[in-house]
Amino acid sequence: MYDVIVVGAGPAGCTAAKALAEKGYKVLLAEKFKMPRYKSCSGILIKKSMGLVKSYFGEDVPESAMCTPTENRGMIFTNDAGKEYRFEQEGLNVWRSHFDGWLAKKAGESGAEVRDGVSAFSCTEKDGFVEISLHGANNYTESARYVLDCEGAVGILKRKLTGEITGYITTFQTFNEGSIDLAPHYFYAYLQPELSEYDAWFNVKDDLLVLGVSVKDMDKIGHYYRRFIAYMEEKHHLRIGRQTKEEKWLMPHIRPGCRVDYGVGRILFAGEVAGFLNPMGEGISAEMESGYCAANAVMGHFDNPETVQEVYRQSTENLKSYMQRQWSLVGGMAGTFREME
């Protein structure tokens, strides 16, 4: 019997697992992918994320997790009218596989059992504990007093527990050798509706040009990607020599009000699966903070499960308010997101 089983070794899961394990709780951190896990992501740590890493993990992000240029200087938005907004802020440029791998390593060093290549496909609350079905080399079950679901946008546990089907945004990005007339130290987001159904973006990682679009209709990826490439060629003299990789991913479609699902009984949701996601896919800070709050709620009221979820909700009120303000800001910036204002 574990005290807590954490599902998903991303920023939310690793933060929660480390916080619990270092206080002496028996923790299993289960990850469906083999470590180091990869996630399609900008890999930009904003100043807030850097501070949370220092606070929760006791040290700065190691150089081994970074890519060049290591320094990120902020975000530059272009709205639907072509107006540019600059948000200068210190940040870091990392590979998510290396960053998440380091977080999981720190959780393991704190005493959590880290088990990769293991998928969770159902969980059932029983009398005083939760039984969770896992699949690795074979099917088996484990039990815990609590389960923290940190699977991300497409988590299967939440879907089975609540019966709800979350709306998704599909992201598509490519990595390319080439050149462009843009400073490599910024993350660029383009909100023009002719370029995507959500947003398009550009950044640089280890001298590779990363270009992406996000859509509501997956069949329109090619259409919008071609438009975006043509736009970047015309506006910023993009020249692609060779494409080295392409990838698709899903993220939750955040709706007006920024609904958050905190959990069901002894099963808590944290990170994207709960609905914590800031504009332009900045989820790392929200994942870490929500994972930490969920862990603290469990630790503070371990023998009173009826109060854990409410304490978790209360402790994330500022996080949710921050998320709502960020979405409102983008809503006031571009008609594409007007409903979020």
Per-residue model confidence as pLDDT tens digits over 131-152: 999 998 899 999 999 999 999 8
Around Cβ 308, how many Cβ atoms within 10 Å? 24
The predicted model gives 227-244 an average pLDDT of 98
Answer for the pair 44, 72: CB distance below 8 angstroms, yes or no: yes
User: Percentage of residues in the chain with pLDDT exceeding 90?
Assistant: 92
pLDDT for res 80: 93
Q: Does pLDDT of 155 surpass 90?
A: no
Mean of pLDDT over the chain:
96
List the Cα angle 77/186/74 in 5-degree steps.
75
For residue 52, the SS3 value is helix
Q: Tell me: the pLDDT tens digits for 259-317?
A: 999 999 999 999 999 999 999 889 999 999 999 999 999 999 999 999 999 999 999 99
- Work out the pLDDT band at 166, boundaries 50, 70, 90: confident
Span 81-94, average pLDDT: 95
- Encoded tokens for 145: 């007093």
pLDDT, tens digit (0-9, with 9 covering 90-100), for 90-120:
999 999 999 999 999 999 999 999 999 999 9
Residue (of 38, 35, 41, 30) closest to 2 by Cα position? 30
The contacts of residue 326 (CB under 8 Å, 6+ apart) are 278, 279, 282
